[in-house]
Amino acid sequence: MRIALISDLHGSELALNAVLADIARTGVDQIICLGDVATMGPRPREVLERLAELRCICILGNHDEFMLDERLIRSYSELPIIVEAVDWCRAQLSRAELDFIASFSRRFELELDGSGRLLLFHGTPHSNMTDLLATTPPELVDEMLGGRRATIMAGGHTHLQMLRQHRGTLLVNPGSVGLPFKEYASGKAPIVLPHAEYAVIEAMAGDLAVSLRRVALDKAELREATSAVAHPMRAWMMQMYA
């Protein structure tokens, strides 16, 4: 049983296509998306179309929820460029596309072919806005997990790949497809890396393996995709891909 975890697509059709091509090349049984699919990038509608075609499990990220409640973004960030990017994205989407986002689950759990259980969320099991990091103290991790346990627990949100053992549970963050960060941003302007990230979970008769994968992207193609649409993050992204 091979499961690909993708997260934090953030409107990058180019990065999503590269990841899906890599997944097709290596082969998986199932793809699961951990949220934050449309905002910030230049191609929100195209990313949603590809995601709908996959018919995969989708988890509701905080940026997905911003599409459904326009007041919510201001409780998360008041940075004008972030608010403008979220509002711009929402204005691009049709009612059907918003309904598709509204169908995402906050959490999902499934069995791993006799190898335990996989619990999926965006930030933590109880919040899609909480940062769970490799450096988060164990006692705080216990609070974040809120008593929930599974063999593997997987979320995104921080845009940082992570594989961490916590009291016997494997905590996985597949990183970001569309905006992988060089280091934890914590309110600062992040540095975006020129590749796409995802993870693969393999389970068979009690055995488990988790691999963190990176797919190289061409900076010139990233600049071209970014410059082709007049979206609020364009100038900043062009700097990142210089």
Q: What does the pLDDT average to over 90-112?
A: 97
Q: Which tokens go with 194?
A: 């020129």
pLDDT in tens, 177-198: 999 999 998 878 899 999 999 9
What is the extent of the structural domain holding 187? 2-240
Q: What is the pLDDT of residue 74?
A: 87
Q: What does the pLDDT average to over 214-221?
A: 97
What's this model's pTM, rounded to 2 decimal places? 0.96
DSSP-assigned letter for residue 193 = P
Mean pLDDT of the chain: 96
Whether 101 and 37 have beta carbons less than 8 Å apart is answered as yes
pLDDT in tens, 104-150: 999 999 999 889 999 999 999 999 999 999 999 999 999 999 989 99
What's the structural domain count of the chain?
1
Q: Which tokens go with 4?
A: 């690909």
Q: Which tokens go with 39?
A: 């905002």
Residue 12: which CATH number?
A: 3.60.21.10
pLDDT in tens, 24-58: 999 999 999 999 999 999 999 999 999 999 999 99
CA–CA gap between residue 121 and residue 209 (Å, rounded): 19
